[in-house]
Structure 1
Amino acid sequence: MGLLDAIFGNNQPPKINSILPTAAKNEIRAGRLPILNTDSLFLKRGEKIHYIDKAINLEIKVVKQYRHVGHSTPGLLKGNRWNVGVAKPIEHGELVQHRGILYVTNQRIVFQASEKGFDKTYRYLTAVTPYVDACELQFGSKTYNMYVDDGNLLYEVLQLVQQRRQIP
């Protein structure tokens, strides 16, 4: 089951073409962390990149619309009308996509995008939920729905990094 199926039923998810090299995917599936290079991300001392891929941060935005409910009748004087009614708010969810590049290093998770990008360290990561085509990353009370080519591969990388971080 994919993330979009879980949220919206039968909506057709967007197609993402992976930029992660096949050799890196094979290393991850074998339980080893590849070391990748890029010019786009400024690394901290001792930091290594283990995952780079295109991603979409899916945000569910609540939109309020107001609908007038009531009626209008002729007034007491000629040319006047009497209106009675209320504007009722109607809320619905709207899916907003923010496209960018997702980096997983041994120290942090970075989503580089023109809007809604983030840079989070592992100490704030509280939960990860994998899907076939996505991963939900929860940092405290904030959840990021990261749609990627292979959500299970991203989950494996995060598990491998966490295991390495726990080994003294």
Structure 2
Amino acid sequence: MRRIAAFLIATAALSAPAMAQIAVGATVKDTTGGTVGTVTASEGGNVTVDTGKNKVAIPETSFAQTPEGPLLGMTKDQLDSAVETAAAENKAKLMAALVPGADVRGTAGVVIGKVEKVDGELVTLTSEAGSANVPVSGLALQPDGLHFGMTAEEFTAAVEAAKAATSGQ
């Protein structure tokens, strides 16, 4: 039984293509030979490619290794377009979620406040400590709702500091 298991493991290892680590600084080419961009990082199973317009994290498994370096099945223009389309879709989803009364969670996942109003690129968040304007770009839409990059304690301290600064003027 052990010999069969060892044989199956060895066979699987031989049939699985070995993926060489993609080196930082490598030039990524497309299937037509055009340059897609340069690898700026490779970790955690993702490779970051700088197209000159966008920096994109792409799964290592999306690349083929050739003697000339990593190969991607998208051109630079296709990759840039996909990134920009995804960013626009994510922004639209975020803006749709920014409705008065929506909970906003902090970095620890705890609700730090609620959306009071949205005015262009600023969102007024209200908590027990008071209200604060935060940039839309500081918010993220995650599966459990809106998130802001502070803990509840940090948000409360920032609101209280802002109140103290405005009352001292």
TM-score class, shorter: under 0.3
Normalising by the residue count of structure 2, what TM-score does the alignment of the two structures yield?
Answer: 0.21
Greater helix share, structure number: 2
Greater strand share, structure number: 1
The structure whose RCO (Cα within 8 Å, separation 6+) is larger is 1
Normalising by the residue count of structure 1, what TM-score does the alignment of the two structures yield?
Answer: 0.21
